Structure 1
Amino acid sequence: MSRHRRRPRDWHPLAASDPVPGDPDAILDEVAHMRQVALMLRGEARDLRVIGQGDGLKGRYADALRHGADGLEVHLRETAERYERVHGHLTSWAHALEDLQTEADRILRNARTVAEVNGLDENGHGHESGGGNEHGSGGDDPLQGHRASLAKVVAQHEERAAHYAALIRHEIDDKIKDSPWEWFKDAVDDWSGAISLAVDAMSYAATVIALVAIATTPAGWVAGLAIWLSVGVLSGHLLLAAAGDGSWADIAMDVFGLLTMRIGTVALNRLRGVREATKLAAQLAAEEEAAANSARATRTLRDRASAVVNRRGATRAERSRARHARNIARAANQRVGREAAESEAAVPMAQASRWEAASVGGDVEEANHFKDVKRLRAAYPRSPEVQRASNGAERAHRMFKGAWIAASASDGTDKLLGSSDVIPQKPAFGPYGDLKNRCSKEVGSAW
């Protein structure tokens, strides 16, 4: 919004005075003041929360002071919310007012241009001419359309003013009382320690499962448990962050972790498809190669039989025996090819070593699929179908491995630098915690 915008004071020939009065700049100045008041109230509320939750208060009136601080902290937060909602309505009204005034000013400029072209005076009337008629008293009024447009703007101005006035009046008349959200926040505040401990425990359990998977082959339900633990960690962090007791940075890291899991699943599914296509291509290649080798071995026999069939002096019986021998050779070639395809189909999937599985986070299935694709590619190097079907294996493998590395780096960094409720004695990097605390804002607060 432009600041200190100059507007016309003379509204002739359309109106005697400004039809859309108001000062958007003054409204925004008041909004800025209210925003500062809301921030001050929330700061005082945080200080009171420290008093209410602190153990440093000693003496006869310590319990009463803590209880009073808790109650006052709630009311200060509620009052800050009212300020934030009111200054939000005022900001919307200031923007709407400026838009309406801009439109009204444009209509006035256009009307003055029309009046000048038609020789109208400041009231929109024409000067007397030979016939004694005036513009506006006879025929169409040149400014009729501009007056109608301005009337619409004035009507919108009145409607918007009444709308925002009603919203602000509702906020002003609202009594300070605990809303369902405040009850929820108070409950989370009361249980924030237990929630934080449970979330930290689930996070460490998921990390332990990931580490165990690198060295062993866990059952399928263990991987499912890791996913549910990650979802539980995200849910707990959402509760804490929404109530202002946790960091939204934790939410971002949890979402990132689940996203890498999804990327890993997509990559594994792609690798499964590549391996299946490569396996089918290998069976066809094995059949063609074995049939071709058998055909070379029986070529002399087939050539001799063909010569007998094509010889003019051969008897009918000789030709019949030659055709039979040739057909037997061809059938033998086809049978050898089918047996080779069946033999390749029966070859079990290659088994990755423990180190190969560890390089992708211990996922044995992914490592086995990737190794088997490489085996098939090496077994049929002259088959373009096998080579073409195996394309994409490296891309899927890199995607899976990259997702695991990114998730491990994020989780490991947080575990290394951050504090822990499960291990209170664990050293933490102070600036890292301060950075995460800067993202601690409750839902509905001013950022």
Structure 2
Amino acid sequence: MRETAAEIRLQITKLKAIGNDDTLKGKYVDALQSGADKFRGKLEKSAGRYERVSAQLGKWATELHSLQSTTADALASAKSAQADIHRLVGSVDPQSATAEKTEKELNPSKKEELHRARRDLAAAQRSYHRAVEDYETQSKNIARKIRDIIDDALEDGFWSWVSNIIEQNIEAIKVTLEVIGYIATIAAIAALAITVLAACIAMPALLLTLAPLLLTFGTVASVVSLGMQSLMAATGNGGWGDVGFDILGLLTFKAGGAVARGVEQGATATQRASTQAARRATADAMANSPKRDALMLASSQAKGKYAKRAAKKNLREYEKTLKSTGAAQGLPTPTPMEIAMAGGDAKLAAQWKYAAREQVKRDGDAATQEAAHRTSRAAAQNSGIFIGGTALDLGDKTAGSSDIYPKKWDIKPYSDAKDWNFYNSGMYDFAP
């Protein structure tokens, strides 16, 4: 087994030389070196198995040799003691009549010699049994360790099966994921275009419902891509950079959703604060209006039915002039640019615009100002997330390499970073 491990190590060295050879030229080089690196990683696992099993067998050989020596010594001691007993009593069986009779007739020194021979025989038997017990215990221990060593991913388990399926279809999987990525980007752009155009021209209702469906498709595509990229990276067939990029995309989407909820809550708070400010302003105006006081007095002192009716009408009409303009009940219509800045979310753009209008209307009210500021802050964050996420996606597709079109221009350090992995042989090589 040591010789087999040494031969595997020799082949690993040769494969490593192929993988690091900068003098090779031709279209075959990348595939050859990539295959050499992967195969080398798997051979390293195999060599490690042979080396570890060989080490355990070497340890067992040493222990077995020691136990064999112990039992051999015990056997020699037992035979010597039995020979002495037979010589003294004429039988190795102490219960026989001949042995008992002979033992009674022995002189004291001979009896002592007989007892010593029997003690030596018992000691030899104990030594032998201890050695046999040690043999059974240690053999089981070594066998268990060897089973643990060989119970690894070199066996065809479920994970190995998954890894092999991915490796055998890696090119098709990569192309499929790239196509899905482009479709998701196009879907997001199309959803944005539909929403922005809807603010400019009348569009069929069916087309308007398509926008949220396209966004949902983009999200599902991102989740599928993340799952497959993780599986590929875990089996050594992809890069963890792609996994990180997909996670960043989903986190960006989730963060955008959280910020959008903040805009909605801020707009609601702005409406509530503006309404309360209008009520307070109206109450203050009425409480501090001398003319209203005079009209109320005239209404109470008017004589006759028609005079009272006229006085009350004058009071009501004047009170209308004192009422502060309330908060707008409906959302304003956002412009196409405002919708675009809100990431294609027309409702969010309208809420943003609503808060800004109420902020101007209640210039002197602290509660309305604070709620409107909070809404604008969340909306600005949403715009930043949308613009940043879009730039990140387009930048990745521009700077990264392509499996669909291998000759595509790319920034090689960026592509290499995305393809980076801890290992080449797949996570299943580290499975217990």
> What TM-score, normalized to structure 1?
0.56
Q: Distance in 2 between matches of 1:45 and 1:181?
A: 30
Please point out which of 211, 233, 241 is paired with 1:219.
211
Map of 2:174 onto structure 1: 196
Deviation at 1:167, TM superposition (A): 6.6
Listed one character per residue, the Cα deviations across residues 352-382 of structure 1 (whole Å, up to 9, x for unaligned) are 3222332343333322221211111112212
The one-letter code matched in structure 2 to 1:184 is: V
Deviation at 1:325, TM superposition (A): 8.6
Listed one character per residue, the Cα deviations across residues 230-261 of structure 1 (whole Å, up to 9, x for unaligned) are 11111221221122111011000100110011
Asked which structure has the greater RCO (Cα within 8 Å, sep 6+), the reply is 2
CA RMSD, aligned part only? Answer: 4.8
The one-letter code matched in structure 2 to 1:245 is: N
Deviation at 1:402, TM superposition (A): 2.5
Q: Is the 8 A contact 1:419 1:433 kept in 2?
A: yes
5 Å-filtered alignment, 1:146-185, equals 168-172=145-149, 174=151, 177-185=155-163
Q: Distance in 2 between matches of 1:366 and 1:382?
A: 25
Listed one character per residue, the Cα deviations across residues 119-163 of structure 1 (whole Å, up to 9, x for unaligned) are xxxxxxxxxxxxxxxxxxxxxxxxxxxxxxxxxxxxxxxxxx999
Q: Is the 8 A contact 2:178 2:403 kept in 1?
A: yes
Listed one character per residue, the Cα deviations across residues 189-242 of structure 1 (whole Å, up to 9, x for unaligned) are 111112111111111111112333443316222211111111111122122112
Q: Is the 8 A contact 1:292 1:333 kept in 2?
A: no
Identity of aligned residues (%): 26
Relative to its length, the structure with more helix (as a share) is 2
Q: Is the 8 A contact 2:399 2:414 kept in 1?
A: yes
Deviation at 1:339, TM superposition (A): 9.8
Please point out which of 228, 233, 242 is paired with 1:241.
233
Map of 2:332 onto structure 1: 350
Q: Distance in 2 between matches of 1:396 and 1:84?
A: 61
> What TM-score, normalized to structure 2?
0.58
Map of 2:341 onto structure 1: 359
Please point out which of 259, 264, 271 is paired with 1:272.
264
Deviation at 1:412, TM superposition (A): 2.2
5 Å-filtered alignment, 1:37-56, equals 40=12
Please point out which of 406, 422, 432 is paired with 2:414.
432
The one-letter code matched in structure 2 to 1:435 is: A
Map of 1:302 onto structure 2: 293
The one-letter code matched in structure 2 to 1:303 is: A
Map of 1:209 onto structure 2: 187
Q: Distance in 1 between matches of 2:374 and 2:51?
A: 53
The one-letter code matched in structure 1 to 2:266 is: V
Map of 2:373 onto structure 1: 391
Q: Distance in 1 between matches of 2:47 and 2:322?
A: 81
Q: Is the 8 A contact 2:260 2:348 kept in 1?
A: yes
Alignment CA distance shift 1:326-1:208 (3 Å)? same
Q: Distance in 1 between matches of 2:52 and 2:338?
A: 57
